[in-house]
Structure 1
Amino acid sequence: MSNTNRPSFFPPGKCFNRISFWEQSKKKAREVAMRGRLTEYFLGIASKVLSAVETGKSDKHHQHEFNGVSPLKAMLGTERREFRTTFLYLGDDDNTAQDTASMTWYDSRIAHPTRSEFRLYFTTDFIPDHANPGDIMILGLRPDQSILVIVCARESAFAGCLLWLFDIDRLGDRFAFRDEEATDRIAVAPAMQLILAQLGIEPSPSIETSLLDLMREKFGDSFPTTRAFSEFARKTLSDAVSVEDPDIAIVAWITHEERLFRTFERYIVGKRLDDGFTGDNRVDDFVSYSLHVHNRRKSRAGSALENHMEYLLTERHIRFERGVRTEGRAKPDFLFPGSREYHDRTFPVELLTMLGSKTTAKDRWRQILAEADRISTKHLLTLQPGISCHQLQEMEAHHVIPVIPQGIRETYSPSLQSNIICVSDFIDLVSQRQDRRAI
C-alpha cells in the first residue's frame, strides 16, 4: 500500500494502521471542536441590572444579598446551600478586579408555617466596592456547583461580549434566567471559547483519549516546538476549516490548539507531580517548575497566533518575512513584502505593510509603535474581545489598525467596528499591494 498520504510527522512503518489511527483521530478532533455547548461551562445563567440598594450605593439602606426570586429558585433549588463563588469585575482599560468568597442560599422564613422568602447572601464587600447602579450582573452556576458572578458597566466594551456570549437579549431590574436546557442549546463557537478564556474559564478537558495517545506517540513525554504543535493542531482539524475563510480558520485552530495543549499539559505536569519534588531544594524546585509552566502557557499562546497567521499567508501566496530587523533592535512580527524591500529606499513606501501580533492588546499594543519607522500606519493582529472605546480611539490617533477575526469583531458595537478590520480584509489588503507591485 502506498504511504504517500501518510502525515509527514509519523515515523515510517505500520503505515496502514497509523493512517487509520490518524483518520479516526481527526474525526474525533472535529467532533470535539464542533459539538461544544455552553452547558459544559454553565448549568444556568441569571442576569439583571443592579440597583442602588444591591450595590450599596443607596442613601437609605444597602444589602449584601439578592432576593430569591423565581429564576434563582429554579437554578439553585429550595434547600439551604453554600456556594464557592468567584466575583469578577470587568471595567475598561484593564480596570478589573477579582475575589473569591462564599454565597449562602437560604430561606429567611424557614420557621414560618406557610411563607418562604429566599435570599442569596454574600460575605464579601466586592460588589459594594466595585459595582455601581445600572451595572450589568451575570450570575452563572458552574457544573462543579460553584458560582461565577460577573459585573461590568452597561456601556463598557466587554458588556457586548457577555450579552453575545450568553445570548441575553433582555436586561432589566428583575432577574432573567436561562436554565440548563437553554444553555445546552447554545453552541460554543471558537470565538466564544476565547471570551470564556478572558473570564478565566479553561477549555473543557473533554478531548478524547485517542488524541492524547496520538500526541504521546508523536511527541513522547515532552512538549515539542510551538511551530510543530501548531502544525499538529491544524492537521487534526484540516477537514473542518478552510484557508479560504481565514477568520474562521485562525480562531478554530487557536481554540483547538489550546484544548490540545491543556490536555497534553495535564498529562505531562501530572506525571511530573506524581514523581514528586525531593531533597533540600524541593520547595525552590517546585516554585521554579510552576513558573516554567506558567511562562510556557503565555509564550506558547502568542507563538501559536503567529504560527497560524504565517500558515494562512503562505497558503495564500503572500510574500512576507517574520521577525526581521527594521531599525535598531526593532523586529516586527510580520513585514510585507520583506526586509530587502523595506531597506530599499526606492521601494514605494505605500506598498510596505507591517503586522504586529498580540493575543491580548491592552497596553501592549504600544510596543509596535517603535517598529518599522518607514510605515506610518501599522496593523495589529489580536484576539482580544472588549477593547474599550478609549483604547480604540488611542490606536486610531497613533495610526494603528486592529485586525480581529470576524467572529470576535462582531461582539463590538457597530460604532466601534468601523475602526477594526477582519483577517480576510487584511489578507486582501496585502495581496492587492503586492499585485500592484507586480503590474
Structure 2
Amino acid sequence: MNGISSSDVLAEFDQAKKTAPKLFRQYGGRIPSGVELTRRAIDEALGQPPYNTEYIKDNFSSLVSDLQLAAYGYYLQAEREVCGEALAAYVKGQSNGDTAADALQSLQSSFFVLDRFFLSLTQSRRQRAGASFEEVVQTLFRALGYPYTPQPELSGSRPDFVLPSLGHYDAFAADCMIFTCKRTLRERWRQVVTEGLTGQAFYLATIDDGISRPELAKMKDRSVIVVVPKLIKENFYGGQLNVISFENFFDHHLDPAVARWTANGVISG
C-alpha cells in the first residue's frame, strides 16, 4: 500500500501517540473549565446568588436536566473553536503547498495524529460532561442550605456529601445520609458503597436512564437509592422502588431527616 512497510506504519503510529497528546494539551488548556462553564449556565438561568431556593426545590429535576445540557453545550462550543483551530494549524503545518491536493495529502499523512487527538478529545468530553452534571447538582444542593460535610473520607470512599455532618456520622452513622453524584452509573456505584461504609442509606444522583433491573436489585440489597430527574423516573423506572425523583428525595427523605436532626438537637433550627 503506497510502498509503506508495516514497520514504517508502526513507527508512525508510535510517534503519533506522542505528538497528539502534546497537541491536545497545547490547546485543551484554553477551553474553560467545567466548573466555569457550569457556573455560567447556572448564572444565566438563576441570576446571581442568593438564589430563589423555593423555585430551585420545586424545579430541581428540570434544572438538573436543563443546566447540565446548557453547560455541556457551552463546552462543545468552546471545543469546536479551540480544537478546530488546533487541527487547522497542525494540518497546515504539515502541508507542503497551498493546493487542495496538498491539503488532502496532509490530512492523509496526519491520520494517526488526528486519530489520537480525537481520542483524547472524546475522553476529555466524557470527563467534562460528568463534571458538569456533578457541579450542577452540588451547586443547587448547596443553594438550598441543607447541612452537610462535603467530600468526606469514609472507609476508603469519598462521596460528595454526608448529611448532616461528618461529626454526626462518626457519632451515629445510621442516623446519617450519604449522597453522591455520577452522571452515569454502570458498575461505578460500587466505588461509593464500600464494605466498611455504614449509614442509613446511600443516595446516588444520576441522569442514567439505562440501569438494568438486575443491577438495581443489587443496589437495593445494599440500601442504594437512585435519585433521578422526575421524567427519567416516570419514563424508565416507574416500578422501581429504589429509584426516586429529586423532588421525592427532598420531600420524603431529606426534609423528614432534617426535622429529626433538629428535634434531636443534632442541628440548630
Q: Could you tell me the TM-score, scaled by structure 1's length?
A: 0.44
Maintained 8 Å contact 2:224/2:242: no
Counterparts of 1:22-421 in structure 2, within 5 Å, are 222-238=30-46, 242-244=55-57, 245-276=59-90, 286-328=114-156, 330-342=157-169, 344=170, 347-370=171-194, 373-375=197-199, 377-412=201-236, 414-416=238-240, 418-421=241-244
CA distance in 2: counterparts of 1:354 and 1:371, whole angstroms: 14
Residues 371 and 331 (structure 1), Cα distance of their counterparts in 2 relative to 1, 3 Å cut: farther
- The amino acid of 1:268's aligned partner reads V
CA offset at residue 319 of structure 1?
A: 1.6
Structure-2 residue corresponding to 1:72: none
Maintained 8 Å contact 1:362/1:387: yes
CA distance in 1: counterparts of 2:134 and 2:205, whole angstroms: 9
- Identify the structure with the greater helix proportion: 2
CA distance in 2: counterparts of 1:270 and 1:371, whole angstroms: 46
Residues 372 and 408 (structure 1), Cα distance of their counterparts in 2 relative to 1, 3 Å cut: farther
Maintained 8 Å contact 1:325/1:331: yes
- Flag structure 2 segments of 5+ consecutive residues without an equivalent: 1-28, 95-109, 264-269
How many residue pairs get aligned? The number is 212
- The amino acid of 1:366's aligned partner reads R
Q: Could you tell me the TM-score, scaled by structure 2's length?
A: 0.69
SS of 1:403's partner is: strand
**CA deviation string 1:366-415 (max 9, x = no partner):** 22221771215211111011322222222112221111110111112532
Maintained 8 Å contact 1:302/1:358: yes
Maintained 8 Å contact 2:72/2:132: no
SS of 1:386's partner is: coil
Residues 299 and 371 (structure 1), Cα distance of their counterparts in 2 relative to 1, 3 Å cut: farther
**CA deviation string 1:339-364 (max 9, x = no partner):** 3332x3xx333331112322112222
- Identify the structure with the greater strand proportion: 1
Maintained 8 Å contact 1:351/1:434: no
Structure of larger gyration radius: 1
Maintained 8 Å contact 2:233/2:243: yes
CA offset at residue 249 of structure 1?
A: 1.0
CA distance in 2: counterparts of 1:223 and 1:302, whole angstroms: 16
CA offset at residue 334 of structure 1?
A: 2.2
SS of 1:410's partner is: helix
CA distance in 1: counterparts of 2:197 and 2:213, whole angstroms: 26
Structure-1 residue corresponding to 2:7: none
SS of 2:205's partner is: strand
- The amino acid of 2:63's aligned partner reads A
CA distance in 2: counterparts of 1:413 and 1:226, whole angstroms: 29
SS of 1:237's partner is: helix
CA distance in 2: counterparts of 1:357 and 1:373, whole angstroms: 17
Residues 288 and 323 (structure 1), Cα distance of their counterparts in 2 relative to 1, 3 Å cut: farther
Maintained 8 Å contact 1:395/1:401: yes
CA distance in 2: counterparts of 1:333 and 1:297, whole angstroms: 21
Name the % identity: 21
RMSD: 2.6
